[in-house]
């Protein structure tokens, strides 16, 4: 706000108002707690009444909520509140589409760290609202050994041994592999969670056979709505998709004063 909302000065102090939010597209609603907090930050007595539950499907023309409070607060908080709601609903909507696409398989849809700076907690919340599963929150709560770690640490076996040595209690370890040799090395080293990087459908099916249930397998790279079901049908346990949080289009919402 900087020095203040100059345009809101058009409205007399003490004026009360009611507004409502309407959806303009088909989506999954997400972001209510952030939306509410924007208004209550400027008017602690503001009341938001939701007509739709968090995580529910919404349709064009549907009223989502009403907001009652100081008119200046409603005007000032409007854009930021809608920004949260539009962006988080977009993440939840994208996630729900992928979850629906793999329905009936054992595969779970998983997010990544490819989030908007400063908004990781919010976006990962939205993934859960859409029916997806969170991967690690950051670099501190899990070990993910990727190709550059392997190059620096001396290969699969050495990296797995060191990961087991430095891993705090309760922290899981995952290792990325690009070919069957690395997959067999990872299994021999006791890996319990393996990421299959940019493998073809045929390679993924073969990897599932090689692992034979000894480790959970996660597919990553090149995942789209068009191919995600075929990937799930290879038998992998998880499918991670960076696009859930980085390649999104805001849901069309608008707020209007009554």
- Cβ atoms of residues 170 and 135 within 8 Å: no
Tell me the pLDDT band of 91, cut-offs 50, 70 and 90. Answer: very high
Assess whether pLDDT exceeds 90 at residue 188: yes
Tell me the pLDDT band of 237, cut-offs 50, 70 and 90. Answer: very high
Say if 222 falls within a structural domain: yes
Query: Is 146 designated active site?
Result: yes
Do 131 and 81 belong together in one domain? no
Say if 162 falls within a structural domain: yes
CATH for 40: 3.90.1170.20
- Cβ atoms of residues 101 and 230 within 8 Å: no
Structure tokens at 144: 């993910």
Query: Is 176 designated active site?
Result: yes
Do 71 and 112 belong together in one domain? no
Query: Catalytic residue among 16, 63, 106, 146, which?
Result: 146
Do 154 and 236 belong together in one domain? yes
Do 126 and 45 belong together in one domain? no
Distance CA 61, CA 77 (A): 22
Say if 188 falls within a structural domain: yes
Say if 115 falls within a structural domain: yes
How many angstroms from the chain centroid is the CA of residue 83? 16
Assess whether pLDDT exceeds 90 at residue 222: yes
Say if 128 falls within a structural domain: yes
Distance CA 26, CA 235 (A): 31
Residue by residue, DSSP assigns 183-245 as HHHHHHTT-SEEEEES--HHHHHHHHHHHTTSSEEEEESS--TTTHHHHHTTT-SEEE-THHH
Across the chain, mean pLDDT equals 96
pLDDT for the residue numbered 1: 85
Do 125 and 84 belong together in one domain? no
| Total domains in the fold of the chain | 2
- DSSP summary character for residue 67: E
Say if 2 falls within a structural domain: no
Distance CA 215, CA 236 (A): 10
How many angstroms from the chain centroid is the CA of residue 193? 20
Kindly report the pTM of this predicted structure: 0.94
Query: Catalytic residue among 16, 49, 63, 79, which?
Result: 79
Structure tokens at 170: 């309760």
Say if 211 falls within a structural domain: yes
CATH for 232: 3.20.20.70
Do 127 and 20 belong together in one domain? no
Do 40 and 152 belong together in one domain? no
Do 114 and 232 belong together in one domain? yes
Say if 127 falls within a structural domain: yes
Assess whether pLDDT exceeds 90 at residue 217: yes
- Cβ atoms of residues 40 and 82 within 8 Å: no
- Cβ atoms of residues 130 and 94 within 8 Å: yes
Query: Is 197 designated active site?
Result: yes
Structural domain boundaries enclosing 82: 7-99+249-257
H or E stretch covering 83: helix 71-101
Do 236 and 214 belong together in one domain? yes
pLDDT for the residue numbered 66: 98
Do 76 and 126 belong together in one domain? no
Query: Catalytic residue among 24, 41, 97, 114, which?
Result: 114
CB atoms within 10 A of CB 148: 9
Do 11 and 109 belong together in one domain? no
Query: Catalytic residue among 176, 185, 218, 237, which?
Result: 176
Per-residue model confidence as pLDDT tens digits over 3-27: 889 999 999 999 999 999 999 999 9
- Cβ atoms of residues 192 and 207 within 8 Å: no
What percent of the chain is modeled with pLDDT above 70?
100
- Cβ atoms of residues 219 and 201 within 8 Å: no
pLDDT for the residue numbered 241: 98
Do 144 and 165 belong together in one domain? yes
What percent of the chain is modeled with pLDDT above 90?
98
Query: Catalytic residue among 54, 197, 206, 252, which?
Result: 197
Distance CA 243, CA 220 (A): 11
Per-residue model confidence as pLDDT tens digits over 64-90: 999 999 999 999 999 999 999 999 999
């Amino acid at each position: 706000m900087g020095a203040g909302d100059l345009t809101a000065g058009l409205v007399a102090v003490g004026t009360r108002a009611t507004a409502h939010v309407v959806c303009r597209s088909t989506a999954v609603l997400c972001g209510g707690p952030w939306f509410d907090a924007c208004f209550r930050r400027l008017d602690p007595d503001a009341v938001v009444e939701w007509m739709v539950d968090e995580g529910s499907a919404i349709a064009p023309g549907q009223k989502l909520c009403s907001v009652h409070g100081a008119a200046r607060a409603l005007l000032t908080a409007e854009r930021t509140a809608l920004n949260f709601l539009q962006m988080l609903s977009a993440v939840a909507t994208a996630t729900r589409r992928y979850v629906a696409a793999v329905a009936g398989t054992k595969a779970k849809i998983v997010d990544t760290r490819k989030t908007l700076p400063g908004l990781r907690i919010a976006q990962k919340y939205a993934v859960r609202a859409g029916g997806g599963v969170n991967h690690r929150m950051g670099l501190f709560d899990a070990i993910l050994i990727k190709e550059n770690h392997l190059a620096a640490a001396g290969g699969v076996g050495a990296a797995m041994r060191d990961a087991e040595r430095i891993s705090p209690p309760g922290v899981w370890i995952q290792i990325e592999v690009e070919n069957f040799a690395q997959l067999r090395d990872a299994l021999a080293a006791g890996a319990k969670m393996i990421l299959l990087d940019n493998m073809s459908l045929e390679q993924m099916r073969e990897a599932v056979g090689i692992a034979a249930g000894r480790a959970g397998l996660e597919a990553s790279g090149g995942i789209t709505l068009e191919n995600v079901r075929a990937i799930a049908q290879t038998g992998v346990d998880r499918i991670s998709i960076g696009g859930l949080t980085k390649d999104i289009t805001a849901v069309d919402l608008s707020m209007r004063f009554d």
